[in-house]
Structure 1
Amino acid sequence: MNLFDLSGKTALVTGASRGLGKQFSLALARAGADLVITARDVNDLAETAAEVEALGRKVHMVSLEVRDHESIKKAIETAWSAAGKIDILVNNAGCNVRKPAADVTWEDWNTVLDTNLRGVFFVAQEVGRQMVERGYGRIINIGSVTCVSGYAGLGPYGASRGGTKQLTMSLADDWGPHGVTVNCLAPGWFKTRQNAVMYEDVEWVSSLCERIPLRRPGASGDLDGPVVFLASDASGYITGQTLLVDGGISVGSVKAVPGSRA
């Protein structure tokens, strides 16, 4: 359907060297978008760039450290200069520190919040200013199921993702009158390089799947449709919302009746 066609659009994806950022980049390219992809080290972007180009799309690689305000400003200026415009922002760059709450250090907290919340805001600010001037834009902040559910060992991460959800609503109200939509795409439990070691624990994976109504963690491709939807004209009247793509785990699935969900 033409509503989902991104031909003629340019999307900027942060943290695009691997994992979900790479998947988002390829999904948008398959839908027709040209790409600006970022990472702290542009050399890490070569594989993603090659795959985007193989799909027949243009791609620009830009260095960006989201914890450095000057780097943000320089990267967005470079992106606009190289691509001519940014129609879509996928605010994906993030990190995590898994520790019991009593063991979280001051530095742990700052690392996670500076990356996942402060960085998200100031990247959106730099891109959003120019989207407002053009009267069009799609901003997709990448959150997590932790923005609506609490998990032991993920205190700073959950706080940062909850903040992303709230920030999304505020930016949507700020920029909606100027033709810019701002939404949050919140994945559930997906295997990435950051958490791969957890998926080596068969017992843990089994316990996780018991809590997911669809009975499996997220798989490659499960986020392709949602990110294209939020980037496209199909979502033109949707803003300030959080789209959970989590297999249903956020419904609070438990064995409420003995023998149920066996």
Structure 2
Amino acid sequence: MVTGASSGLGWQFALTLARAGAKVSLAARSTDKLEELAREIEGFDGRALPVRMDVTDVSSISEAVNVAETELGPINILVNNSGISRLSPSEKISEEDFDAVMDTNAKGAFFVAQAVAQSMIRHGHGGKMINIASVAASRVLKQNIAYCMSKAAVQHMTRALADEWGRYKIHVNGINPGYIVTNINREYWETEPGKRLIARLPGRRVGQPEDLDGALLLLAGPGSDFMNGSMIEVDDGLVATGF
């Protein structure tokens, strides 16, 4: 199951897992784009199931997990990817925007993990959970306070759940992506502020969604069987810099 699969990193994660042979349940609030992604996956003989899920609604999460498992069988890999941001100076961010980010990125991520863990525990086979956080979990992104707080929560949640659920053979790890080009931010990297930021990065470049494929496949497969509670930075050295 890949949440937030209708665009950006989630879209790429779903394609990558499908190409590796996984049957993928595609979860997001809007199913129109999911249908398009499912057709792309079916085009190379993959199997994909679009399921509607609003991660801010616990009953929606439960229903989506039930639908996915009815159609494709028990979930043994979760890519917990849904996320939003709201740019604002901290002194001006509204309660509505703050709650939207925290409810999606932190609370939503937990209750998706909980629903899938309940299934994994019930079936007794364990599984892999991959929480998608951000370099913002450990460094400041300016005027993005709620996003930074939410991703720090996801990072710590990953470690806490690894401690609790390891006894059930559930491996809970995560990825902290750096700056990655997606449809949402593509135009920004062509602006003067975007170019100035790129010039300050260690490799003087931003990443592409497929740059996360290696970490994703590691954490989804047997190569991570002795990893639990780990966060992998895939950021071209961003966290190592001091700026």
Report the Cα distance in structure 1 between the residues aligned to 2:139 and 2:174, rounded to whole angstroms.
15
| SS class of match (2:211) | coil
Aligned residue in 1 for 2:170: 180
**How many residues are matched?**
242
| SS class of match (1:238) | coil
- Alignment of 1:119 onto 2:108: yes
Contact 1:212 1:253 in 2 (8 A): no
Contact 2:189 2:195 in 1 (8 A): no
Report the Cα distance in structure 1 between the residues aligned to 2:183 and 2:90, rounded to whole angstroms.
23
- Alignment of 1:108 onto 2:87: no
The Cα of 1:253 is off from its aligned counterpart by 4.6
* 1:39-68 C-alpha deviation (Å, 9 max, x unpaired): 112122122111211222211110000111
Give the alignment of 1:227-242 within 5 angstroms. Answer: 227-242=216-231
- Alignment of 1:70 onto 2:59: yes
Aligned residue in 2 for 1:44: 33
Contact 1:211 1:253 in 2 (8 A): no
TM-score scaled by structure 1? 0.89
| SS class of match (1:100) | coil
RMSD over aligned Cα atoms: 1.3
Report the Cα distance in structure 2 between the residues aligned to 1:44 and 1:175, rounded to whole angstroms.
33
User: Which protein is bigger by CA-based radius of gyration?
Assistant: 1
The Cα of 1:30 is off from its aligned counterpart by 1.4
Give the alignment of 1:1-262 within 5 angstroms. Answer: 12-133=1-122, 134-201=124-191, 203-254=192-243
Report the Cα distance in structure 2 between the residues aligned to 1:79 and 1:57, rounded to whole angstroms.
16
| SS class of match (2:239) | helix
Structure 1 154/26 Cα, relative in aligned 2: closer, same or farther at 3 Å?
same
The Cα of 1:224 is off from its aligned counterpart by 1.0
Report the Cα distance in structure 2 between the residues aligned to 1:227 and 1:250, rounded to whole angstroms.
19
The Cα of 1:194 is off from its aligned counterpart by 3.1
Corresponding letter in the other structure for 1:221: E
Contact 2:137 2:155 in 1 (8 A): yes
Contact 2:198 2:204 in 1 (8 A): yes
The Cα of 1:220 is off from its aligned counterpart by 3.6
* 1:64-105 C-alpha deviation (Å, 9 max, x unpaired): 001111111111111111111111000111111011112200
Report the Cα distance in structure 2 between the residues aligned to 1:231 and 1:220, rounded to whole angstroms.
17
TM-score scaled by structure 2? 0.96
| Overall identity of the aligned pairs, in % | 38
Report the Cα distance in structure 2 between the residues aligned to 1:70 and 1:219, rounded to whole angstroms.
34
Structure 1 167/173 Cα, relative in aligned 2: closer, same or farther at 3 Å?
same
Report the Cα distance in structure 2 between the residues aligned to 1:55 and 1:228, rounded to whole angstroms.
19
* 1:132-185 C-alpha deviation (Å, 9 max, x unpaired): 232320000110010010121110000000000000001001111111100111
